Structures are given as C-alpha cells and as structure tokens.
Structure 1
Amino acid sequence: MKDKLNICIVGPFDAGVAALRQQGHAVFYLAHTEEVFFNLPEALEIKSFAPDLVLQVECLGRRTLLQGLDELDCPTFFWATDPHLNLHWHSSYARLFDQTLSTQKSIVPLFKADGVKDVRWLPRFALDMASPPIAERKNDIAFVGRLSEQRPGRKWMVDFINSRVGERTFPVEQSLTYSEMLALYQDTKIIPNESILGEVNFRLFEGTSCGCLLLTQDLGDEQASLFEPGKEMDTYADAIELEEKLKLYLGNDQLVQSMSEAAYKRVHSEHLPSHRIETILEYVKDAVRCRSVGPDADKWLAITVASMWESGMLKIPVGEVLSLLSTVKQDESVVIATLRVQTVVGAGSVIEENLMMLLGGKMFEDSFRLNFTASAAALRLGNWDAAKAFWYRYLNAAKGSKLPPKTPKDLLILWAKELKRHDMFFRGGFSFNSKTHLPHTVMDCLVALNEAQPGDVGVLKLIETMLRSRKELDQVRDGFLTSLVAQEFKDWRLAFELGMTNLHTYRLDEGMKKLEVARTLAHEKGQERAFAMTLRSRDQSGQISKRLQEY
C-alpha cells in the first residue's frame, strides 16, 4: 500500500478529514450531498480524483445512498454510526461495500448473521478539546438531550437526578447546537448518561473529551474496554447505585478531577479521530473485494430503499420503490421486501395474487423468512388457509413437528417462538405499527398480539418470558409487566420482576415498594428462601438487599 493515499470520504467526518490531511493524504470530501441517490463515480470523474479508498460515514440527518460503487477499483468502506437504530436497512446497504465498520461491537454478529461478509468494530471517537480544572466549573452536573414520550427512561433519569441533587446546579438542555453543548460540558463536572438500547453512545466520548466525569449505565465489557469503570468513568446498574454514586461524587471535586483526568488522558491516547484513522488504514491493508456488483448490487440497493421507505425514513413515491424492486431478480429477499411495501399501501388484491403464486408455484418453500412474511401477509388479509399453508411449508422444510395452530393468535405465537430461535428479536429504530406494517421480529409479533387482545394474561405472560433477558428493553417491558401484575397480583415473582424493572428505569421508590410487596407475598406462601435467593442472584452490589431491610 502507498504511504500517501487518495481517500474519498462521504458523510460528516470533519475531524477525520483534518487528521488525514495532516498526515499528508489527499482527501476528496463530501460532507453532505443534495441528492438521496448519489452517483459517486461521476463525481470522482468530474474532480479527476482516483481514490485508493472510499469511506462513507453514516449521516444521521439527510441520508445519502451511493450508486456505482461496483465500478470503483479500490476498497469501499461503510461506517455505520447508529447500527442499533438502523440495522433494518444497514444490513442490506452494507452489501454494496467491501467492509462495514460498526460503532457497536455487540452488533457485529448481527451484521454477519444477515450475510454481511466483512464487519469490524470501530467505536465512535472523541475530540481534542480543552479541559478546564474541575474546581473552576460552574455546573455540578448537566444533561443535554431531548426529553419526549418516546424516551420515558431519559425523563425518569432526569427527574430522579433532580430529586437527588438538592440545591446544586443541574441544567437540562434540549436544543443546544453542537458547539454550545461542548461549551456546557467544559463548564460541567459530571455528565449522567442514558442509552437508548444498551449502546455505547456519543455522550460517553463527548463528555470525556471535555474532561467531565461520565456516570453511565453499566453496559458491560464493550464500554469497559473503552474507559475503565471506577478509574476513568463510573457506572450504575440501577437507581440505588446511581443514587450512591451521586452521593460519592457530588461535591468531591478532588475525586472527580482525578477520574476525569484519567479519562481525558485515555481520550488522547486512544480515542481521537487520528486514532480511528489509524485503525481504518490498518483495515485497508487486508481488505478484500467482496461487495455486490452488477444486478446483485442493484438488488441490494432496491431492498435498502424499500426498508428505509417502509420505516418512514425515505420520502419518495411508493411507485419508485416498487419500480426498483420489480426490475431486479425476484429472489426471496426481493419478494419479502415487495410484500412489506405492498402491505403498507394496502394493496390487498395484489398481495393475494402474489401469495397464491408463491403457494401454487412452490416458490421458496425452504425459506423461513419468506414463509413467515407470507403467512403474516395472509393473516392480514384474513386468509386463514394460506396463513397456515405457509406455516406448514416451513415446518416441512425444517422437518419439525408442532401442534397445529387453531387460531390466528396460536399461529402468531408459533412464529414468534421461531423468530426468537432465529435470533430475530427486535428492530431498533423501526417504529412498528401493527395496523400498517407486517411483523418482522419477535417484538413485532408480541406487540400485534397484545394490540389484538389487550390485557390477555396468556399473551402478557409470553411477552414477559420473552423480554426478561433483554435488559435493554426494560422501558418497553415495564408497561407490559404493569398490566400483568395488575391481574396476577398474588404472584410474587411477577411483582419482583416489576420492582427490578422499576429500579433499572430510575423509579427507586416504586421499585422498592414492589419488592416489598413481592417479599410479603413470598412470605405468605412460605417461599421466603426462594425470594432471598432470587434477589441475591440479581443484586450484584448488595445495595438492593441492604435498602430492602429498611422497609
């Protein structure tokens, strides 16, 4: 590989471009494009720029879909900066690139499961900012982020901290510019952090860039590998731990200074844009050309467009979406995308014809996803026989044997269990509407079941069983559990789960009251020992048990 490269960057990465140019590389930089569909080879030809690498950095505002990547004679990389919210289209768009870089290490296996060949971890980055002494900063603690009904956990966190900081300054800002946010951080000692779906987010890097102490949810090894808990930042597992950490750090400028300095040093040794550039250039050395080309590239672009349109991200006429899908090879992925788009626009008669064609022609009989999607489409149309037929096709292909479904509810539950087995649990960032969309995941099926039969105890218990191990979905789980406990109010295990979920979502008082109820119910049934063992297994710090003794 040459020492100095010609690098084309599409998408917002000002600091990375500056670092590349400082190292002597030539950069053709397109931070934003006016067009949704952008023909990159044409733009390169106009600029007479022959790249040694193309890197697209995902833009979280106006989206750009690159065309013509298969014509380029250099490695092509896609940096997915928000894959936890966009995997529903990232996994098809990534097929147009040789290498996909995911900011979330936990999502790398999900990309690979969707057929993306070369996926690597590349975390978000920090910035080279000044870090004023902690003692000179005006704000003890501050939070920047939008509060809305769609993010109840964030509001619960802010309300909880407000109730614990007393007279200390705690500004909460929802509409600052990026530079204003960084300036606020430079005048703040502690930054609390809350993630949407258990992801390592920008706030971790932004706060440490400004020399703040980050107090963030415990997200496990991925986050801990970036900054060391207890030394460079700190974590909490629930509201009790957050309260204890606030008591420890608020007013303790010396400790905050020591830990924020350690994080600031880590930023400058590992997490600046120049460090990410070094990693990218290392990845280039063993990059292999594995992008889709020709008709296959057209197919994956069409599926990407359909996925984005279905989610409401892409505002183009549905006719254009269906036209793109109709002009590519009609394999199972294209047929699935087409059924989903047709469902959104209510093209019932066309869908019916397509379903009959799939059954009559015995097309894609071995495809789990096709059979599930077609079965869901048949249910939507009220065609019970066709819905069952696609289920039995799947069972025959999988050589499985299960009790036959007697009702649409039975069938949707069966599909939900199979989706879980296929690790298709949740689409982050996709706002599923059971009246508009076809289900695609376990959560979609559960939501559809609950909306069809609100308050059904069997459905609520299934939802609770399915969600129990998914801590990142506690905000969603809380509402279902509340409904279930209202009906099964003598079940101490359910009351216990609701109490723990309350604690995980910043409702300390509610959570402790629910745990006290669970303990009382367990005592009435002679199951105090089972309750104690259950609590001990879930209370790693011992703080919950200690607090419960006070009730």
Structure 2
Amino acid sequence: MNPARPLAVWITPQLPGALGAFPAAVRGLEVPPGIVDVAALLEREGLEPDLLLQDERLAPRTLLQGLERLDCPKVFWSLDPHLNHHWQAPYAALFDAVAATQKHWAGLLGAEKARKDWVTWSAPPAPWIPHAERPHRTAFVGRVTGHRPVRAGFVKHLRERWSAFVHGDLPHAEVLPAYCSARVAPGESIQGEITQRLFLSASAGCAVVDPLIDNGLEDLFEPDREVLTYSHVLELDEALARLEADPALAERLGRAARERHAREHLPERRVEALGRLALAAERVAPAGAEARRLFWLSAARCTESGHLPAPRDEVLEGVGGYGGDPECLAALGALLALAGRAREALGPCLRLLSGPGAGHAGLAACACALALRLGEAETAAGAYALFARASGEPPLESRTPAGICRGMSGALARRGALWRPGFAFDPERHLAASAVEFLHLAHALDPRDLETCRRIEALLRGLPGSDLVRVAHLSTLTLHRPKDYRLGAALGLADLKAFRAREGLEELRLARLRALEQGRLPAFEGFLRAADPGGSVERALAWTG
C-alpha cells in the first residue's frame, strides 16, 4: 500500500457524491449486474489498487469473481443483509472486512477474523421548511407490491385513518423533496430493519414515527426527543393523534431529528466510517480452492433467489465442480430442481449423505426435499434416517410426506436454521431448506393438518415481518379451538402488528369474553399487560372491569 496516498477502487459506490470524505484517493467503477471478473476489470482500467471496496448493488446483483487474486485488502458493504443473508454469508467471507446497514447483522457476515462494523444508511441534507408551510400533514414514500402485504395494510390504514399522502414509486431523487412537503412521517419496515426512509424523513425535518424493534434505532435517534416509536397499529395511532393535537411538538421533533441527522448521519459520515474500516483491514480472506468454492456457492444461492443475471449453465458448472462439498451439492440440487432436473440431483445427494456428508443438515434437507419433489416419500424417509443416525436426531414420528417435513423442520430448527429472510419461498418451485420452509411444504402437502399450523405459528413468533403469516395460521387454529382465549389473544395482537386494527380489537374482545367465561380473566389481563406494556390496547377497548 502506498503510505502517502493509497488508491481505493470502489465498485458500484452507493454514495458517489461523498467519496471525497474517504481517507484515500478513490476511483469509483460502475459495473454491470451479473458475474464480473474483477482482476480482468482492473487490468482493463489500468488500476492497481491498494484497497478494494464493493457496495451491494440492489435489484440485480453483481458478484466479483477472482477476489482472491487481488493483492490488497477488500471490503464489502452489505445494504440489505436482512433480505440476502442466504447468499451473502459465503460471499462476504471472500472479503477482509465487512460492513452492514443493520446492527444485528453486522457481526454475522464475513470470515471469522475479518473486521466488521455497523455502517447504516444516510441521507443528504435538506433545506429547512417550517411545518406551517408544508402542504401535507402526513406522508409515506414506499412501493406497495404483492410481495409486501403488511405494507399494503399499513398504507391502507394511513390513508383511511389519517388521510396520508402516499407516494408509491417515486424516483430516488424525488423522495427527499416529498418528505420536505410533509410534517409527519410514519415509517414501516419489512423485517424490522433500519430503513433509508428514516434518514430521509429526519433530514427533511419531519416528525418521524418509526417501529420500535431492537434494531439500533435508539443508537441513531433519541426516542421521544428526536423520534416517536410504536410497536403496533394502536400505538401508531396514538402517536399520530398526539402530533396532530400538538403541531408545535411535531415541529420540535422534526428540528431535533434534523439536527441529529446533520451531526451524525450525512453520507460523508458513512464514507468516513468505511474508510476507517478499510484502512484497518488485514488480509484474512481465504484464498485458492476455498475462495473459489465460496464464490460459486454464493453464485448458486443468489441464482436460486432470482437475483443474479448470469447464465444458469455457467453457475451449474461452477458449483458442480465442488460436488464433494455438502453445501455446494445442496446448492446444486436446488438449482437443478428449479430447472426440472430433480432426478439428476437426488443420486449424488444420497451418495454423499451415505458417506462423509451423513451428518450435514443442509444436505439432508436437500435430499429429503428432492425425494419429496419426485413423489418418493420412502426415499425421503431413508435420507432422513441416514442423517438422524449420524447426527443423533430422533427418528421420524410419521413417514408420510408431511411427517417427513415436520421431522426435517425440527432438526433444522434445533440448528438455528429457522428461515431464509428475504427468500420468497414457493413450495411449487423451490426446495425447502429451512425449518419454516419445510413446514410450509408440509402445509401445502396437507392443508388440514393443525399440528403443522401450530408449529409454523410457533416458529414465526417473534420473527420480524411474519405477523400476517401468523394471522393466517392462528385464524385456522382458533376456528378449530374457539374457546382457547390464549389463541384468540395471540391472533388479535398479530392482527395489530399487521396493521389490522378493527380485526385485532374484535379478536381481543372475543378472547377477553372467553377468558371471563372460564374464570381466567386475571390471567388474560396479565398476558395482555406483558404483551402491551404501553396499555394502548386496553385504552382502545375502553375496558372498565
């Protein structure tokens, strides 16, 4: 590295206007989505960098091939780790330092000895506009699609209850001006993540009302002085009502958030943080065959998710070169199944599972899912038995297809493989690879099985962004157990988290009535106080007894 003025090459920089804050000379390079040979790219550009940084490209992804051939530290900035961990886990391991926008994901990516840091979103500065001059009381900017049903409920509630001005799909350059036209900015997230929307609305001087989840929000803005927070739709309504009744409070909050943003959350602060991380990075990323294995594993997983525009045959050949590795063989099996070639994948999986891959849960999951895709329940049960003997898992309770799915789900759950956040699992297309996905497959195979519904709901409980799915399964369970007030209360609270205020309150009223009939009212009220310590549910229902 040139100690006087090191050169950093920055691939797909997300903050190009702030690169001057980086503590080294910077050359930004835009590259197309897909697989890019990074060594060849640098040679074409005539560059010999002392540092290399890559920002995650949203929408179609870019994977850099040949990172291990570069003679410099490498840094990866993950922008959406909460939606892409299934492929970013191996990809980030190819770098010497990794940053992530989400606090609770920052330590989960990268090689064991890699430097890691939380470098979250930012927003450019915006001019101050007094709230009295802003035409909109409440505004929200965000796309509403069929893949975001909770957001659809959130937007519907804002429009109907608060006459909010909702912008569905603005160009990025118009988002900040849109927030500058509003006094109050309620926020929503897909899976409890910190969003860029938080910083855009704070920069604009809005009174921000954001979801309160253990995601680092309190490290960024001070609740009740710079932002207001909510846990469900009733708390959101109370916060919005408070701001509507006290415009001076809304303006004070907006000013305080804007001042904090100007001090700590401008794009230059993020570039400086990435610079400190890069300059401290040491060469710890794997090299040789292990680096190439990790690359093709990430490429296969990214292709399975539909995010990598690369020739499928190229990826199949690349990951297929590591057929003796259980992870790579499972990834190959998933791609072959997508291509309608499940039979071709099953034999190699069973052979590896019978030998050195016997105790590997991911490989066992792939073999079971492949056999079930082919309608071979006995083969799937045999694959599970091989895995169970090697790993100490209990035998299957049932050898039916749904029973095999429940058994594999339990084994994956015990290993922490609960779900693949952000992966749009379709049991008709994808192979199940997580505890939740196997239960969804079991439900698709036998929709009337209540035990599967119960297990899905139990696994999803507490996982951000899962409330609407929980509502569906809790609704089924309460239909068959209408007198269980605990199920009814859980359904009502899940409704509220999914912005279904009317449905949630109706379920909670009914659950309270059931508890009263059974002499369990104190237990019910204790449960409610623990679940809703702010008391907004009790106030909404106006209970007196």
TM-score (norm: length of structure 2): 0.94
Query: Are 1:156 and 2:149 an aligned pair?
Result: no
Map of 1:8 onto structure 2: 9
Question: What is the distance in 2 between the residues matched to 1:9 and 1:311?
Answer: 26
Map of 1:424 onto structure 2: 417
Greater displacement, 71-80 / 380-389 = 380-389
Q: Secondary structure at the match of 1:126?
A: coil
Contact 1:95-1:116 at 8 Å conserved across structures: no
Map of 2:27 onto structure 1: 28
Query: Are 1:454 and 2:447 an aligned pair?
Result: yes
Quote how far apart the aligned CAs of 1:90 are.
Answer: 0.8
Compared with structure 1, are the counterparts of its residues 249 and 203 closer, same or farther at alpha carbon in structure 2 (3 Å cutoff)? same
Map of 1:130 onto structure 2: 127
Quote how far apart the aligned CAs of 1:335 are.
Answer: 1.0
Q: Which amino acid letter does the alignment assign opposite residue 422 of structure 2? A: G
Question: What is the distance in 1 between the residues matched to 2:36 and 2:100?
Answer: 22
**Which residues in structure 2 correspond to 1:470-549 (within 5 Å)?**
470-549=463-542
**Which residues in structure 2 correspond to 1:69-218 (within 5 Å)?**
69-111=67-109, 117-165=114-162, 170-218=164-212
Map of 1:467 onto structure 2: 460
Q: Which amino acid letter does the alignment assign opposite residue 7 of structure 2? A: N
Q: Secondary structure at the match of 2:53?
A: strand
**Which residues in structure 2 correspond to 1:262-341 (within 5 Å)?**
262-328=256-322, 330-341=324-335
Map of 1:51 onto structure 2: 49
Compared with structure 1, are the counterparts of its residues 447 and 377 closer, same or farther at alpha carbon in structure 2 (3 Å cutoff)? same
Q: Which amino acid letter does the alignment assign opposite residue 18 of structure 2? A: A
Question: What is the distance in 1 between the residues matched to 2:375 and 2:264?
Answer: 57
Contact 1:140-1:189 at 8 Å conserved across structures: yes
Query: Are 1:379 and 2:372 an aligned pair?
Result: yes
Give 1:350's match in structure 2, choosing from 344, 347, 352: 344
Question: What is the distance in 2 between the residues matched to 1:384 and 1:519?
Answer: 44
Question: What is the distance in 1 between the residues matched to 2:328 and 2:145?
Answer: 36
Contact 2:123-2:200 at 8 Å conserved across structures: yes
Deviations 1:447-469 (A, max 9, x none): 11111111322211222222223
Contact 1:9-1:56 at 8 Å conserved across structures: yes
Deviations 1:85-105 (A, max 9, x none): 111111121122112211111
Quote how far apart the aligned CAs of 1:120 are.
Answer: 2.6
Give 1:441's match in structure 2, choosing from 434, 458, 473: 434
Contact 1:84-1:429 at 8 Å conserved across structures: yes
Q: Which amino acid letter does the alignment assign opposite residue 370 of structure 1? A: L
Question: What is the distance in 2 between the residues matched to 1:464 and 1:22?
Answer: 47
Quote how far apart the aligned CAs of 1:535 are.
Answer: 0.9
Q: Secondary structure at the match of 1:224?
A: helix
Q: Secondary structure at the match of 1:77?
A: strand
Contact 1:91-1:116 at 8 Å conserved across structures: no
Q: Which amino acid letter does the alignment assign opposite residue 338 of structure 1? A: L
Quote how far apart the aligned CAs of 1:115 are.
Answer: 6.6
Deviations 1:416-445 (A, max 9, x none): 122122111122221111122111112211
Deviations 1:43-67 (A, max 9, x none): 3233333322211011113322112
Contact 1:126-1:271 at 8 Å conserved across structures: yes
Question: What is the distance in 1 between the residues matched to 2:342 and 2:249?
Answer: 64
Greater displacement, 312-321 / 192-201 = 312-321
Query: Are 1:220 and 2:217 an aligned pair?
Result: no
Contact 1:139-1:171 at 8 Å conserved across structures: yes
Deviations 1:205-261 (A, max 9, x none): 111121112111112351111111111111111121111111111253321221111
Compared with structure 1, are the counterparts of its residues 499 and 295 closer, same or farther at alpha carbon in structure 2 (3 Å cutoff)? same
Question: What is the distance in 2 between the residues matched to 1:13 and 1:400?
Answer: 46
Quote how far apart the aligned CAs of 1:117 are.
Answer: 4.8
Q: Secondary structure at the match of 2:327?
A: helix
Give % identity. Answer: 32
Contact 1:295-1:329 at 8 Å conserved across structures: no
Compared with structure 1, are the counterparts of its residues 24 and 189 closer, same or farther at alpha carbon in structure 2 (3 Å cutoff)? same
Question: What is the distance in 2 between the residues matched to 1:51 and 1:263?
Answer: 38
Compared with structure 1, are the counterparts of its residues 358 and 165 closer, same or farther at alpha carbon in structure 2 (3 Å cutoff)? closer
Contact 1:28-1:49 at 8 Å conserved across structures: no
Contact 2:353-2:363 at 8 Å conserved across structures: no
Q: Which amino acid letter does the alignment assign opposite residue 491 of structure 1? A: D
Question: What is the distance in 2 between the residues matched to 1:245 and 1:202?
Answer: 21
Quote how far apart the aligned CAs of 1:367 are.
Answer: 1.6
Quote how far apart the aligned CAs of 1:8 are.
Answer: 0.9
Quote how far apart the aligned CAs of 1:118 are.
Answer: 4.2
Question: What is the distance in 2 between the residues matched to 1:283 and 1:315?
Answer: 30
Contact 2:460-2:470 at 8 Å conserved across structures: yes
Greater displacement, 512-521 / 143-152 = 143-152
Greater displacement, 132-141 / 224-233 = 132-141
Compared with structure 1, are the counterparts of its residues 122 and 497 closer, same or farther at alpha carbon in structure 2 (3 Å cutoff)? same
Query: Are 1:257 and 2:255 an aligned pair?
Result: no
Q: Which amino acid letter does the alignment assign opposite residue 280 of structure 2? A: D
Question: What is the distance in 2 between the residues matched to 1:295 and 1:23?
Answer: 33
Greater displacement, 499-508 / 328-337 = 328-337
Question: What is the distance in 2 between the residues matched to 1:506 and 1:517?
Answer: 19
Greater displacement, 209-218 / 76-85 = 209-218
How much is the aligned-residue C-alpha RMSD, in angstroms? 2.2
How many residues end up aligned between the 2 structures?
A: 543
Question: What is the distance in 1 between the residues matched to 2:98 and 2:357?
Answer: 29
* Ranges in structure 1 where 5+ consecutive residues have no aligned partner: none
Deviations 1:273-306 (A, max 9, x none): 2211222222234322122322222222211221
Quote how far apart the aligned CAs of 1:151 are.
Answer: 1.5
Q: Which amino acid letter does the alignment assign opposite residue 32 of structure 2? A: E
Question: What is the distance in 2 between the residues matched to 1:508 and 1:72?
Answer: 55
